[in-house]
Structure 1
Amino acid sequence: MQINILKHINISIVITLVMTMLFSCSNNNLKNIQDIDVSENEPIGVAENINLKYTDSGKVKAILKSPKMYDFSNRRFPYNEFTDGVSLELFEDGKKSVVVSDYAIIYSKTDIIDLQGNVKVTTHSNDTLYAEQLYYDQMKDWLFTNKPVTFRTGQDLINGNGFDSNQKFTNAEVVETTGLITVDE
């Protein structure tokens, strides 16, 4: 009989401790406990050898390729980082434009893409922009930089200290032009 009473007391103590632990965690504390495993400095995911095709109405609109992507959507200011570069092919009305860079970062909250290192944008009409850094505002469909650029359009090769344009390059402008060369082919 004493053994049953001791067992009953031990079980009561264990149940009391477990209940105390469960009810002592508020939502914030519970979230903190759940997040212990995921450091904010580490990506929540890593993707390798990406070959992402975006389609609309059965037509391929874009193909994104990259050796590696880090997903930092677990941060307060979420982003995706492409440390080994990107290649993006854009298709419109059967015409292809290509964007490549050594590094890219996409900020989810602002819809800004930051391309860095040997950035090259080639349009379907063979206009080509070379830059060390180029931003793309996805919401406004706008490309811009305040870094040195070289822009080849037709037979003109234009150097400058900045660039502004819509994504189709129909109103491309080299800012602070430092040189203009006409190339005979």
Structure 2
Amino acid sequence: MSNKLLHIFLILTLFIFVSCESNFREVQKMGFSEFSPSGEADSINLKYTDSGRIKAVLISPKMLEFGLVEFPFTEFPKGIDLTLFDANGKKTFVKANYAISYKGTDLIDLQGKVNIYNETGEKLETEQLYFDQKNEWFFTQKKFKFSSPKGLSYGEGIDFSKDFKKVNSQKISGEVNESE
């Protein structure tokens, strides 16, 4: 009798294992298709305009569009080179090793050797920086290095306008020459 119970137990165990394996493969397929890009582009050079005026130029070797997921986003896995223009045509340059833009929030998450600089010699370096496109505002809670013709400073946590005219920093140290 115990041999018969053992045999039934083994058959039930095998049946459960086989049906779990099948379900697992189906779940894997669903997860894979959900996060497959709905669009892909190589060597992009996008120009954003408003009322006939160029506001930004985005260059990237690779762009992946995930527009069919619950929270759509665009990913730049090989980095970006972004040039922002103000109303007077002055430029701000942004470079990052990786970027992801979230559609519903107008936020761009820049990561890995992020450098932002302008034509007047101001430069910020950090490992992660967010850009609020709507308000044209950058921010991070990561460590940063800020250099300008007036001096050099280090800190952890900063937010600023795209032209560096308004800057709020936290935990800052460095040397700035105020006479210039």
Give the alignment's TM-score, normalised by structure 2: 0.75
1:23-172 pair list within 5 angstroms: 39-92=33-86, 93-172=88-167
Deviation per CA, 1:110-167, whole angstroms, max 9, x where unpaired? 1111000010001232211101000111223221101000011322111001111122
Question: Contact conserved, 2:92 with 2:162, CA < 8 A, in 1?
Answer: no
Aligned to 1:39, the other structure's residue is in SS state helix
Once residues 147 and 123 of structure 2 are traced to their aligned partners in structure 1, the CA distance between those partners, rounded to angstroms, is 5
Q: Does the 8 Å contact 2:143/2:157 carry over to 1?
A: yes
Deviations 1:43-88 (A, max 9, x none): 1011110001122333322110000010011110110000000001
Distance 1:100 1:147, change over 3 A: same
> Does 1:180 find its partner at 2:161?
no
Query: Structure 1 residues 142, 96: CA separation in 2 closer, same or farther (over 3 Å shift)?
Result: closer
Does structure 2 retain, via aligned residues, the 8 Å contact 1:164–1:175? no
Aligned partners of 1:172, 1:145: CA distance in 2, in Å? 12
Give distance in 1, aligned partners of 2:93 and 2:165.
16
**What is the CA distance between 1:182 and its match in structure 2?**
4.6
Structure 1: runs of 5+ lacking an equivalent:
1-35
CA separation in 1, counterparts of 2:57 and 2:139? 22
Letter in 2 for 1:147: K
SS at match of 1:150: strand
Q: Distance in 2 between matches of 1:170 and 1:95?
A: 13
CA distance in 2, matches of 1:182, 1:165: 18
Q: Answer yes or no: is the 8 Å Cα contact 1:129–1:151 preserved in 2.
A: yes
Q: How far apart are the structure 2 equivalents of 1:170 and 1:156?
A: 16
Structure 2 Cα separation of the partners of residues 54 and 135 of structure 1: 19
Percent identity between the two aligned chains: 43
RMSD over aligned CA atoms reads 1.8
Alpha-carbon distance change, 39 to 81 in structure 1, aligned in 2, over 3 angstroms: same
